[in-house]
A and B are shown apart, each in its own frame.
Chain A
């Protein structure tokens, strides 16, 4: 089985993202970039399939700026077999999905796994949009994939349990979580990844329509600062508990 994972490079989740002086973008100089967390889960899920069946081929692709090459290299170091880069700056989400649809048509994977959303814009658009452009079924926010005779069983977490869906191949799923935490690259993995070629081409070379509705940023600001809260100290647990409950009712008015 061939599994393709479109990934996105985003500011690492430990970065304290700051709004740039222009007030419409975020500071990107000197920050650490990583594979978006849900894309990492998708990679881990695919690599777990490869662990179980070594004939599985796991490929990654990204549509993004040149720096995204590092994220692809990271995915190769984790154990992915192939990586390719479509360079684009600020492409509209639907244009990204069209570019990916082109890549899928060429690479012919059996299964496409997307992170359920990228942790920068938190949109969650590209996965379902890619399935739509391909005319494929998709299952959203899965936590498990089980192969089944020309099909896959996809486990989806819902309120109170898991729905299990059977999808004929080829199919697409968006990933909420893998069974294990995403693996760290091994040293041999890193060495091997360094030698691998990552072919690159510009978005224009794919011949897809890049005109698509998008938004314009009016402003960006940090969330309103919290703080100025109070610490309740005097008295024993029972007294503090009663003062807190009373404050929540009379002062904060949430009880």
Chain B
């Protein structure tokens, strides 16, 4: 199978999901990677450049990361080319002259296996494909975004300072999330210090983002981000079904909650029934000690 992978970069480094896609594409057969170069993502210039490339190379499959921009670009590309499309896929394999894909549906409450005809466009959830450490860096061809296709004007970037130095939530291998049990935004240093000790990203429950304690972009759950880290730590989160939908595929789940009947304990691998204010500082110290040894 001939696959075209759309590479994404964060800063100067290729995103981890791009390496995952490259590994999968090589497994499926012939793989080429393209990176669309522009100051920032915008759908029309990106779709225009990518569609031209796809029409000249005629890959059976276009793979993108199911990132904020990858999902948007993939959908519009599939519509432009009239190709079959599946978003946020967690696994894929060749099946005759079609693809068999696995995809969570109903916000993760169902896992579907679907058959998708070729040619197709597929976006793959970051972290879903395992990456062998030390694999050779893939070769990436850079193509220019087609500025002549643009109909929008970029006005400005209104930055929020909070998340600048941490890894992005959707791609983080460790996520530490706080809920209403933290009692207020002034206590978020507890979540942040633990996240830093673990080298992870900070998330929040919907109750917390709705209350304005934390920005929306940190919300994990059905109307927020879906994360699949190796380790998910839920602090003071009761475990509403909408929150579980966003994190239940994490490899290992740790829950800390005062209420022994909290639903989060039903899906946790390790549970601690404790006051977060007492337990989290002790746990942060213990993590530092274990990681240092």
Contacts and interface: CB of A to CB of B under 8 A. Distances in A.
Interface in B196-222: 198, 210, 216-217, 222
B133 interface: no
Interface in B224-260: 230-231, 241-242, 248-249, 251-254, 260
Interface stretch (A14-22, A49-57, A72-80, A102-110): A14-22
Given A223-B110, A241-B282, 14 more contacts: A119-B106, A123-B87, A128-B76, A132-B76, A159-B168, A163-B156, A164-B155, A176-B216, A212-B82, A220-B110, A223-B249, A226-B248, A231-B271, A233-B273
Interface bracket on A: 35 or more
Given A226-B248, A242-B289, A157 B87 contact: no
Contact of B110 (A26, A174, A247): A26
Interface stretch (B52-60, B67-75, B184-192): B67-75
A232 B79 CA distance: 51
A14 B155 CA distance: 39
Interface of B: 40, 42-44, 47, 68-69, 71-72, 75-76, 78-80, 82-88, 100-101, 103-117, 120, 150-160, 163-164, 168, 174, 198, 210, 216-217, 222-223, 230-231, 241-242, 248-249, 251-254, 260, 265-274, 278-279, 282-283, 285-287, 289-291
A213 to B, nearest CB: 4
Contacts of A136: 151
Contacts of A254: 174, 230-231, 251-252
8 contacts: A117-B87, A120-B105, A137-B152, A163-B157, A164-B156, A223-B108, A223-B111, A229-B268
A129 B79 contact: yes
A238 B282 contact: yes
Nearest to B105: A121
A206 interface: no
Interface string A142-162: 010000000001010111111
B244 to A, nearest CB: 9
Interface of A: 11, 13-14, 16-17, 19, 26, 37-38, 41, 93-94, 97, 117, 119-125, 127-129, 131-133, 136-141, 143, 153, 155, 157-168, 174, 176-177, 181, 212-223, 226-227, 229-233, 237-238, 240-242, 244-249, 252, 254-255
